Protein backbone atom coordinates (compact mmCIF):
# COMPACT_ATOMS: atom_id res chain seq x y z
CA UNK A 1 0.00 0.00 0.00
CA UNK A 2 1.18 3.52 -0.85
CA UNK A 3 -0.18 7.00 -0.16
CA UNK A 4 -1.83 6.76 -3.60
CA UNK A 5 -3.82 3.62 -2.78
CA UNK A 6 -7.58 4.29 -2.70
CA UNK A 7 -9.48 3.91 0.59
CA UNK A 8 -12.97 2.42 0.65
CA UNK A 9 -14.98 3.75 3.59
CA UNK A 10 -17.45 1.66 5.63
CA UNK A 11 -20.32 3.27 3.71
CA UNK A 12 -18.83 2.11 0.38
CA UNK A 13 -17.63 5.53 -0.80
CA UNK A 14 -14.06 5.67 -2.11
CA UNK A 15 -11.35 8.24 -1.36
CA UNK A 16 -8.91 8.15 -4.32
CA UNK A 17 -5.75 8.36 -2.20
CA UNK A 18 -4.62 8.43 1.42
CA UNK A 19 -3.64 12.12 1.55
CA UNK A 20 -6.10 14.51 3.17
CA UNK A 21 -6.13 18.26 3.42
CA UNK A 22 -6.94 18.59 7.10
CA UNK A 23 -9.12 21.40 8.39
CA UNK A 24 -7.56 24.82 8.85
CA UNK A 25 -9.57 27.85 9.92
CA UNK A 26 -9.59 30.08 6.86
CA UNK A 27 -11.83 32.94 8.11
CA UNK A 28 -12.66 33.79 4.48
CA UNK A 29 -16.43 34.10 4.50
CA UNK A 30 -18.06 36.83 2.45
CA UNK A 31 -20.25 39.60 3.86
CA UNK A 32 -23.10 37.11 4.34
CA UNK A 33 -20.82 34.59 6.09
CA UNK A 34 -21.21 32.30 3.10
CA UNK A 35 -18.28 30.97 0.98
CA UNK A 36 -16.41 33.83 -0.71
CA UNK A 37 -14.79 33.77 -4.14
CA UNK A 38 -11.40 33.68 -2.41
CA UNK A 39 -12.39 30.60 -0.39
CA UNK A 40 -13.72 28.84 -3.48
CA UNK A 41 -10.50 29.65 -5.35
CA UNK A 42 -8.46 28.23 -2.47
CA UNK A 43 -10.30 24.88 -2.56
CA UNK A 44 -10.02 24.67 -6.33
CA UNK A 45 -6.26 25.08 -5.88
CA UNK A 46 -6.14 22.20 -3.39
CA UNK A 47 -8.26 20.06 -5.70
CA UNK A 48 -5.81 20.67 -8.53
CA UNK A 49 -2.98 19.67 -6.19
CA UNK A 50 -4.23 16.10 -5.90
CA UNK A 51 -5.40 15.62 -2.30
CA UNK A 52 -7.83 12.68 -2.13
CA UNK A 53 -9.89 14.30 0.62
CA UNK A 54 -10.40 17.91 1.62
CA UNK A 55 -11.90 18.72 5.00
CA UNK A 56 -13.08 22.30 5.22
CA UNK A 57 -12.21 24.68 7.99
CA UNK A 58 -14.86 25.26 10.64
CA UNK A 59 -18.36 25.77 9.28
CA UNK A 60 -20.47 27.05 12.12
CA UNK A 61 -23.86 25.57 12.93
CA UNK A 62 -25.05 28.79 14.63
CA UNK A 63 -24.31 32.37 13.54
CA UNK A 64 -24.26 33.40 17.21
CA UNK A 65 -21.48 30.94 18.04
CA UNK A 66 -18.29 31.53 16.09
CA UNK A 67 -14.70 30.35 16.51
CA UNK A 68 -13.70 33.68 15.01
CA UNK A 69 -14.87 36.45 12.68
CA UNK A 70 -15.06 35.68 9.00
CA UNK A 71 -16.18 32.10 9.56
CA UNK A 72 -18.62 30.40 7.21
CA UNK A 73 -22.08 29.75 8.69
CA UNK A 74 -24.56 27.18 7.37
CA UNK A 75 -27.94 27.19 9.09
CA UNK A 76 -30.37 27.70 6.19
CA UNK A 77 -30.75 27.28 2.42
CA UNK A 78 -30.42 31.00 1.79
CA UNK A 79 -26.96 30.95 0.14
CA UNK A 80 -27.13 27.42 -1.22
CA UNK A 81 -25.67 28.27 -4.64
CA UNK A 82 -22.49 29.61 -3.07
CA UNK A 83 -22.10 26.39 -1.08
CA UNK A 84 -22.75 24.34 -4.22
CA UNK A 85 -20.03 26.27 -6.06
CA UNK A 86 -17.63 25.65 -3.17
CA UNK A 87 -18.33 21.91 -3.18
CA UNK A 88 -18.02 21.72 -6.98
CA UNK A 89 -14.64 23.49 -6.90
CA UNK A 90 -13.31 21.12 -4.23
CA UNK A 91 -14.57 18.04 -6.13
CA UNK A 92 -13.41 19.23 -9.55
CA UNK A 93 -10.48 16.81 -9.75
CA UNK A 94 -12.09 13.71 -8.29
CA UNK A 95 -11.40 14.14 -4.58
CA UNK A 96 -13.94 14.10 -1.79
CA UNK A 97 -14.84 17.17 0.25
CA UNK A 98 -16.22 16.96 3.77
CA UNK A 99 -17.61 19.93 5.66
CA UNK A 100 -16.25 20.26 9.18
CA UNK A 101 -19.18 21.34 11.36
CA UNK A 102 -18.58 22.91 14.73
CA UNK A 103 -19.73 24.93 17.74
CA UNK A 104 -17.07 26.76 19.77
CA UNK A 105 -18.71 26.65 23.18
CA UNK A 106 -16.59 28.77 25.52
CA UNK A 107 -13.84 29.21 22.90
CA UNK A 108 -15.58 32.19 21.30
CA UNK A 109 -13.73 35.52 21.18
CA UNK A 110 -15.13 38.17 23.51
CA UNK A 111 -14.78 40.76 20.74
CA UNK A 112 -17.73 39.16 18.95
CA UNK A 113 -19.95 40.21 21.87
CA UNK A 114 -22.17 37.13 21.93
CA UNK A 115 -23.61 35.03 24.72
CA UNK A 116 -21.16 32.19 25.38
CA UNK A 117 -22.35 28.74 26.41
CA UNK A 118 -20.52 25.65 27.64
CA UNK A 119 -21.24 22.47 29.60
CA UNK A 120 -20.33 24.30 32.83
CA UNK A 121 -19.35 27.75 34.00
CA UNK A 122 -15.62 27.19 33.56
CA UNK A 123 -13.74 30.20 32.21
CA UNK A 124 -10.79 29.98 29.84
CA UNK A 125 -7.39 29.93 31.56
CA UNK A 126 -4.91 31.54 29.20
CA UNK A 127 -3.00 33.75 31.59
CA UNK A 128 -2.75 37.26 30.18
CA UNK A 129 -4.92 36.19 27.24
CA UNK A 130 -7.86 34.99 29.37
CA UNK A 131 -9.77 38.24 28.89
CA UNK A 132 -9.99 37.49 25.18
CA UNK A 133 -12.84 35.11 26.09
CA UNK A 134 -16.03 35.71 28.08
CA UNK A 135 -16.74 33.28 30.96
CA UNK A 136 -19.54 31.01 29.70
CA UNK A 137 -22.89 30.17 31.22
CA UNK A 138 -23.83 26.52 31.75
CA UNK A 139 -26.07 25.10 29.05
CA UNK A 140 -29.69 24.26 29.78
CA UNK A 141 -31.48 21.19 28.43
CA UNK A 142 -33.03 23.47 25.81
CA UNK A 143 -29.57 24.69 24.75
CA UNK A 144 -28.35 21.10 24.38
CA UNK A 145 -31.39 20.11 22.32
CA UNK A 146 -30.91 23.12 20.04
CA UNK A 147 -27.23 22.35 19.50
CA UNK A 148 -28.05 18.76 18.51
CA UNK A 149 -30.70 19.94 16.07
CA UNK A 150 -28.33 22.48 14.55
CA UNK A 151 -25.59 19.88 13.94
CA UNK A 152 -28.14 17.72 12.13
CA UNK A 153 -29.54 20.63 10.12
CA UNK A 154 -26.10 21.72 8.92
CA UNK A 155 -25.15 18.15 7.95
CA UNK A 156 -28.35 17.74 5.93
CA UNK A 157 -27.70 21.04 4.14
CA UNK A 158 -24.09 20.06 3.42
CA UNK A 159 -25.31 16.92 1.68
CA UNK A 160 -27.95 18.88 -0.24
CA UNK A 161 -25.35 21.33 -1.53
CA UNK A 162 -22.94 18.71 -2.89
CA UNK A 163 -20.48 17.92 -0.13
CA UNK A 164 -19.63 14.22 0.14
CA UNK A 165 -19.51 14.11 3.93
CA UNK A 166 -19.27 15.99 7.21
CA UNK A 167 -16.72 15.89 9.97
CA UNK A 168 -18.18 16.49 13.43
CA UNK A 169 -15.57 18.46 15.39
CA UNK A 170 -15.16 17.05 18.89
CA UNK A 171 -11.51 18.07 19.40
CA UNK A 172 -9.34 21.10 20.18
CA UNK A 173 -11.39 22.30 23.12
CA UNK A 174 -14.55 23.23 21.17
CA UNK A 175 -18.02 22.50 22.53
CA UNK A 176 -18.25 18.73 22.03
CA UNK A 177 -14.69 18.41 23.32
CA UNK A 178 -15.68 20.51 26.35
CA UNK A 179 -18.37 17.98 27.18
CA UNK A 180 -15.82 15.15 26.94
CA UNK A 181 -13.29 16.75 29.29
CA UNK A 182 -13.74 16.58 33.08
CA UNK A 183 -11.91 19.92 33.31
CA UNK A 184 -14.66 21.76 31.47
CA UNK A 185 -17.61 19.47 32.22
CA UNK A 186 -18.58 19.69 35.90
CA UNK A 187 -22.21 18.71 35.36
CA UNK A 188 -23.97 16.29 37.70
CA UNK A 189 -26.86 15.42 35.36
CA UNK A 190 -27.00 12.93 32.47
CA UNK A 191 -24.47 15.03 30.52
CA UNK A 192 -21.68 14.93 33.13
CA UNK A 193 -19.75 12.73 35.51
CA UNK A 194 -18.94 9.30 34.06
CA UNK A 195 -17.35 9.25 30.62
CA UNK A 196 -20.46 7.66 29.11
CA UNK A 197 -22.40 10.73 30.24
CA UNK A 198 -19.74 13.19 29.06
CA UNK A 199 -19.75 11.46 25.67
CA UNK A 200 -23.55 11.44 25.42
CA UNK A 201 -23.85 14.67 23.41
CA UNK A 202 -21.25 13.57 20.85
CA UNK A 203 -22.87 10.15 20.52
CA UNK A 204 -26.34 11.70 20.13
CA UNK A 205 -25.09 14.11 17.46
CA UNK A 206 -23.39 11.32 15.50
CA UNK A 207 -26.41 9.02 15.77
CA UNK A 208 -28.86 11.72 14.67
CA UNK A 209 -26.67 13.00 11.81
CA UNK A 210 -26.16 9.46 10.53
CA UNK A 211 -29.93 8.87 10.56
CA UNK A 212 -30.64 12.12 8.70
CA UNK A 213 -28.22 11.80 5.76
CA UNK A 214 -27.83 9.30 2.94
CA UNK A 215 -26.01 6.01 3.31
CA UNK A 216 -23.16 7.04 0.95
CA UNK A 217 -22.69 10.40 2.67
CA UNK A 218 -19.66 10.15 4.96
CA UNK A 219 -19.97 10.92 8.67
CA UNK A 220 -16.59 11.45 10.32
CA UNK A 221 -15.53 12.55 13.81
CA UNK A 222 -12.49 14.54 14.88
CA UNK A 223 -11.44 13.75 18.43
CA UNK A 224 -8.48 14.48 20.66
CA UNK A 225 -6.03 11.69 21.36
CA UNK A 226 -5.60 13.63 24.63
CA UNK A 227 -6.13 17.15 25.97
CA UNK A 228 -2.57 17.34 27.33
CA UNK A 229 -3.90 18.91 30.53
CA UNK A 230 -3.64 17.32 33.96
CA UNK A 231 -7.01 15.83 34.85
CA UNK A 232 -8.37 16.28 31.33
CA UNK A 233 -9.50 13.98 28.55
CA UNK A 234 -6.94 11.17 28.35
CA UNK A 235 -5.82 8.63 25.76
CA UNK A 236 -7.70 5.93 27.66
CA UNK A 237 -10.80 8.13 27.50
CA UNK A 238 -10.33 8.50 23.73
CA UNK A 239 -10.16 4.72 23.32
CA UNK A 240 -13.39 4.29 25.28
CA UNK A 241 -15.21 6.96 23.27
CA UNK A 242 -14.11 5.42 19.99
CA UNK A 243 -15.35 2.04 21.22
CA UNK A 244 -18.73 3.70 21.82
CA UNK A 245 -18.66 5.18 18.30
CA UNK A 246 -17.90 1.85 16.62
CA UNK A 247 -21.54 0.86 16.23
CA UNK A 248 -22.85 4.25 15.05
CA UNK A 249 -21.90 4.18 11.37
CA UNK A 250 -18.86 6.48 11.59
CA UNK A 251 -16.82 6.36 8.38
CA UNK A 252 -13.55 7.81 9.70
CA UNK A 253 -12.00 9.01 12.95
CA UNK A 254 -9.42 11.79 12.84
CA UNK A 255 -7.10 11.93 15.83
CA UNK A 256 -5.52 15.20 16.91
CA UNK A 257 -4.93 16.77 20.31
CA UNK A 258 -4.84 19.82 22.53
CA UNK A 259 -6.98 22.93 22.91
CA UNK A 260 -6.54 26.69 23.10
CA UNK A 261 -5.24 26.26 26.65
CA UNK A 262 -2.81 23.48 25.68
CA UNK A 263 -2.18 24.06 21.97
CA UNK A 264 -0.60 20.71 21.14
CA UNK A 265 -2.47 20.64 17.82
CA UNK A 266 0.24 22.93 16.45
CA UNK A 267 3.07 20.80 17.78
CA UNK A 268 6.36 21.88 19.26
CA UNK A 269 9.54 22.86 17.46
CA UNK A 270 10.49 19.98 15.19
CA UNK A 271 13.71 19.44 13.26
CA UNK A 272 12.27 16.75 10.99
CA UNK A 273 14.88 14.10 11.83
CA UNK A 274 12.54 11.63 13.51
CA UNK A 275 9.10 10.22 12.88
CA UNK A 276 7.96 11.16 16.37
CA UNK A 277 8.85 14.81 15.85
CA UNK A 278 7.08 15.07 12.51
CA UNK A 279 3.98 12.89 12.93
CA UNK A 280 3.55 14.01 16.49
CA UNK A 281 0.25 12.30 17.32
CA UNK A 282 1.20 8.97 15.77
CA UNK A 283 2.20 7.15 18.94
CA UNK A 284 -1.15 8.03 20.51
CA UNK A 285 -2.94 7.03 17.32
CA UNK A 286 -1.36 3.59 17.08
CA UNK A 287 -2.61 2.82 20.59
CA UNK A 288 -6.07 4.32 20.10
CA UNK A 289 -6.63 2.80 16.67
CA UNK A 290 -6.39 -0.67 18.18
CA UNK A 291 -10.03 -0.33 19.27
CA UNK A 292 -11.34 1.48 16.18
CA UNK A 293 -13.47 -0.52 13.74
CA UNK A 294 -13.51 2.38 11.26
CA UNK A 295 -10.59 3.93 9.32
CA UNK A 296 -8.33 6.23 11.32
CA UNK A 297 -6.65 9.42 10.13
CA UNK A 298 -3.78 11.18 11.91
CA UNK A 299 -3.08 14.87 11.46
CA UNK A 300 -0.19 16.84 12.84
CA UNK A 301 3.12 17.85 11.32
CA UNK A 302 3.53 15.47 8.37
CA UNK A 303 5.39 17.13 5.48
CA UNK A 304 7.58 14.42 3.92
CA UNK A 305 6.57 11.43 1.81
CA UNK A 306 8.67 8.86 3.78
CA UNK A 307 6.95 9.97 6.99
CA UNK A 308 3.51 9.73 5.38
CA UNK A 309 4.39 6.21 4.25
CA UNK A 310 5.55 5.26 7.75
CA UNK A 311 2.23 6.50 9.15
CA UNK A 312 0.36 4.18 6.80
CA UNK A 313 2.76 1.31 7.48
CA UNK A 314 1.99 1.66 11.19
CA UNK A 315 -1.65 0.73 10.52
CA UNK A 316 -3.16 4.21 10.15
CA UNK A 317 -5.46 4.59 7.12
CA UNK A 318 -5.23 8.28 6.16
CA UNK A 319 -2.58 10.98 6.52
CA UNK A 320 -3.90 14.45 7.28
CA UNK A 321 -1.81 17.51 6.43
CA UNK A 322 -2.52 21.14 7.17
CA UNK A 323 0.50 23.44 7.16
CA UNK A 324 2.31 21.46 4.46
CA UNK A 325 -0.59 21.95 2.04
CA UNK A 326 -0.96 25.60 3.04
CA UNK A 327 2.64 26.09 1.89
CA UNK A 328 2.51 23.77 -1.13
CA UNK A 329 -1.01 22.90 -2.32
CA UNK A 330 0.53 20.75 -5.09
CA UNK A 331 2.38 18.48 -2.67
CA UNK A 332 0.41 15.28 -3.49
CA UNK A 333 0.99 15.87 -7.21
CA UNK A 334 4.71 16.51 -6.56
CA UNK A 335 5.07 13.31 -4.53
CA UNK A 336 3.34 11.30 -7.25
CA UNK A 337 5.84 12.74 -9.75
CA UNK A 338 8.76 11.64 -7.57
CA UNK A 339 9.67 15.10 -6.29
CA UNK A 340 10.87 14.96 -2.66
CA UNK A 341 9.25 18.20 -1.52
CA UNK A 342 9.07 18.87 2.25
CA UNK A 343 7.51 22.31 2.87
CA UNK A 344 8.11 23.94 6.25
CA UNK A 345 7.34 27.28 7.88
CA UNK A 346 9.94 29.52 9.41
CA UNK A 347 10.34 28.37 13.05
CA UNK A 348 8.89 30.34 15.96
CA UNK A 349 11.20 30.67 18.94
CA UNK A 350 8.89 32.62 21.26
CA UNK A 351 8.84 31.21 24.80
CA UNK A 352 5.18 32.00 25.53
CA UNK A 353 3.36 28.90 24.23
CA UNK A 354 -0.02 30.60 23.81
CA UNK A 355 1.53 33.51 21.90
CA UNK A 356 3.60 31.08 19.81
CA UNK A 357 0.45 29.14 18.94
CA UNK A 358 -1.34 32.34 17.89
CA UNK A 359 1.70 33.33 15.84
CA UNK A 360 1.80 29.92 14.18
CA UNK A 361 -1.87 30.15 13.18
CA UNK A 362 -1.23 33.64 11.81
CA UNK A 363 1.62 32.33 9.66
CA UNK A 364 -0.61 29.57 8.28
CA UNK A 365 -3.43 32.03 7.54
CA UNK A 366 -0.91 34.26 5.74
CA UNK A 367 -0.26 31.35 3.36
CA UNK A 368 -3.98 30.68 2.89
CA UNK A 369 -4.67 34.31 2.01
CA UNK A 370 -1.91 34.27 -0.60
CA UNK A 371 -3.15 31.03 -2.17
CA UNK A 372 -6.72 32.37 -2.24
CA UNK A 373 -5.48 35.32 -4.30
CA UNK A 374 -3.70 33.05 -6.78
CA UNK A 375 -0.26 33.90 -5.36
CA UNK A 376 2.56 31.60 -4.26
CA UNK A 377 2.93 30.97 -0.53
CA UNK A 378 5.57 32.73 1.58
CA UNK A 379 6.76 30.25 4.22
CA UNK A 380 9.52 32.62 5.37
CA UNK A 381 7.11 35.33 6.49
CA UNK A 382 8.19 36.77 9.84
CA UNK A 383 5.91 35.51 12.64
CA UNK A 384 5.52 39.03 14.07
CA UNK A 385 4.51 40.41 10.67
CA UNK A 386 2.00 37.62 10.09
CA UNK A 387 0.56 38.18 13.57
CA UNK A 388 0.18 41.92 12.98
CA UNK A 389 -1.49 41.25 9.65
CA UNK A 390 -3.83 38.76 11.32
CA UNK A 391 -4.69 41.16 14.17
CA UNK A 392 -5.63 43.92 11.74
CA UNK A 393 -7.72 41.53 9.66
CA UNK A 394 -9.43 40.23 12.79
CA UNK A 395 -10.32 43.72 13.99
CA UNK A 396 -11.97 44.53 10.68
CA UNK A 397 -13.82 41.21 10.60
CA UNK A 398 -14.94 41.60 14.24
CA UNK A 399 -16.55 44.92 13.32
CA UNK A 400 -18.18 43.41 10.22
CA UNK A 401 -19.48 40.45 12.21
CA UNK A 402 -21.05 42.63 14.91
CA UNK A 403 -22.73 44.78 12.24
CA UNK A 404 -23.96 41.63 10.43
CA UNK A 405 -25.47 40.17 13.60
CA UNK A 406 -27.24 43.45 14.32
CA UNK A 407 -28.70 43.41 10.80
CA UNK A 408 -30.07 39.91 11.36
CA UNK A 409 -31.63 40.92 14.66
CA UNK A 410 -33.12 44.10 13.22
pLDDT of residue 181: 94
Q: Give backbone dihedrals phi and psi of 17, rounded to 5 degrees, phi first.
A: -150, 180
The predicted pLDDT at position 278 comes to 54
Q: Structure pTM?
A: 0.94
- Helix axis angle for 37-49 and 353-372, nearest 10°, is 90
Cβ–Cβ under 8 Å, residues 192 and 119 = yes
Report how far residue 288's alpha carbon sits from residue 347's, in angstroms, rounded to the nearest whole number: 30
Domain ranges of the chain: 7-345
Distances (CA, A) of 199 to 26, 224, 294, 341, 409: 28, 13, 18, 40, 34
pLDDT means over runs of 10, the chain (410 residues) = 96 98 95 97 98 97 96 97 98 98 96 96 85 94 98 98 98 95 96 97 98 98 79 86 97 82 47 46 80 93 92 94 96 96 92 86 96 96 96 95 90
- List Cβ neighbours of 126 (8 Å cut-off, separation of 6 or more): 132, 133, 260, 261, 354
**pLDDT recorded at residue 270:** 35
Q: CA-CA distance, 28 to 57, in Å (whole number)?
A: 10
Q: What is the homologous superfamily of the domain 7-345 according to CATH? A: Aldolase class I (3.20.20.70)
Q: What is the DSSP string of 52-120?
A: SEEE-S-EES-TTS-SSTT-EE-SSSTTHHHHHHHHHHHTTTS-EEEEEEE--TT-SBGGG----EESS
Task: Return the pLDDT at 393.
Answer: 94
Query: Distance between CA atoms of 117 and 114, rounded to whole angstroms?
Result: 10
Q: Cα–Cα distance between 51 and 38 in angstroms, integer?
A: 19
Name 296's bridge partners.
Answer: 253
Amino acid sequence: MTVFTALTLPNGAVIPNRLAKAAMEENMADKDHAPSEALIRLYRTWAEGGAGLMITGNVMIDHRAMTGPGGVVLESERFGERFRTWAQAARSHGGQVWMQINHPGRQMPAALKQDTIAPSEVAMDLGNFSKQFVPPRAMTEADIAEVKARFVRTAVLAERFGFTGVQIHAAHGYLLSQFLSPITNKRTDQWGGALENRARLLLDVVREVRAAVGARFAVAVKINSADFQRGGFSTDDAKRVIALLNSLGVDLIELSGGSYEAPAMHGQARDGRTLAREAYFLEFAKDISSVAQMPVMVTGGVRRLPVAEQVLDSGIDMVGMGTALAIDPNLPKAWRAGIASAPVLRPITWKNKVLASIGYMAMVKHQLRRLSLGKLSNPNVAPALALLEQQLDTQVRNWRYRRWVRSLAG
